[in-house]
Structure 1
C-alpha cells in the first residue's frame, strides 16, 4: 500500500524530472514501481483542492463602471509580478 507521502514525492519528481524530459506520467509510474491506477485515484482525490489562476489587469466591466466615479487605473498602478499566484478553493 502506498501512502500519501509516496504519491506526493512521485508527483514532485515527475514535475521536476519526468515532465521536462517528455516522459508520460504512466511511464514514470511504471519506472518507479507504482501502479498508475493507484496514483491516478490519489491525484483525482487531492488535486481538486487547488486550482491554478492567472490574473492579468482589471476586468473591462470594472474599468467602464468606475469611469464615472473615478479612474481606477490612474490611482493604483497595475502590479506586475513574475510569479503566478494560486487561489485555494
Structure 2
C-alpha cells in the first residue's frame, strides 16, 4: 500500500539557528516584529509499505541514517494513506 509521509526536522532547543536569526532580522526591517522564529526542514515522500507502522519505521530509519543529525536535530514523522 502507498503511504504519504511527512518528515519535519528542526534544531533542538538551545542550538544556534543563524538562518532564523537572519530571517527574523529581515522581517523586523520590514515592520514585522516576532517574539521568536525557528526554521525547520520538511520532507514529503510516498512509500510503498505493508502498513502505516512499517512506513513510519522506514522514514525513521531515513532520519537516523541520513536526514537528521541526532546530536543537534529532533524530527517528527507523520504517515497518511
TM range (shorter): under 0.3
Is the radius of gyration larger for structure 1 or structure 2?
Answer: 1
Q: Quick one: higher RCO (CA 8 Å, sep 6+), 1 or 2?
A: 2
More strand by proportion, 1 or 2?
2
TM-score by length of 2: 0.23
**When the two structures are superposed, what TM-score results if normalisation uses the length of structure 1?**
0.21
